[in-house]
Structure 1
Amino acid sequence: MVKYQDETLDRTFAALSDPTRRALLARLGEQDGLSVSELAQPFAMSLPAIMKHLDVLTDAGLVAREKTGRTVACRLTARPMEQAMNWLNRYAQFWSDNLDRLAAFVEEDPWPTNPQSPPTPASPRVQISRVQISRVQASPSRGASAPSRKKSTPRGPSRKT
Structure 2
Amino acid sequence: MSENKQIRDVFDAIADPTRRRLIQLLSEKAEIPLHELTVQFPMGRTAVSKHLTILKEAGLVLDRKVGRETRFRLNASPLREIQDWVAFYSKFWSKNMLRLGQLLEEEEE
What whole-Å deviation, never above 9, does each CA across 1:54-96 have from its counterpart, x for those lacking one?
Answer: 0000001111111122111111112110121011101111111
Paired position in structure 2 for 1:79? 77
Distance in 1 (CA, whole Å) between partners of 2:93 and 2:42 is 39
Distance in 2 (CA, whole Å) between partners of 1:61 and 1:94 is 29
Tell which structure's C-alpha radius of gyration is larger. 1
Q: Which runs of 4+ in 1 moved over 6 A?
A: none
Paired position in structure 2 for 1:3? none
Distance in 2 (CA, whole Å) between partners of 1:53 and 1:67 is 18
Code of the residue aligned with 1:64 in structure 2: it is L
Paired position in structure 1 for 2:102? 104
Paired position in structure 2 for 1:28? 26
Code of the residue aligned with 1:22 in structure 2: it is R
Distance in 2 (CA, whole Å) between partners of 1:109 and 1:51 is 57
Code of the residue aligned with 1:72 in structure 2: it is T
Paired position in structure 1 for 2:3? none
Distance in 1 (CA, whole Å) between partners of 2:68 and 2:91 is 47
Code of the residue aligned with 1:53 in structure 2: it is H
Paired position in structure 1 for 2:11? 13
Higher relative contact order (CA 8 A, sep 6+): 2
Aligned residues: 103
Q: Which of 32, 55, 58 does residue 57 from structure 1 map onto? A: 55
Q: Percent identity?
A: 39
- For structure 2, the residue ranges without an aligned partner over 5 or more in a row are 1-5
Q: CA deviation at 1:32?
A: 2.7
Distance in 2 (CA, whole Å) between partners of 1:32 and 1:43 is 20
What RMSD over aligned residues (CA atoms) do the two structures have, in Å? 1.6
Whichever structure has more strand as a proportion of its residues is 2
- For structure 1, the residue ranges without an aligned partner over 5 or more in a row are 1-7, 111-121, 123-161
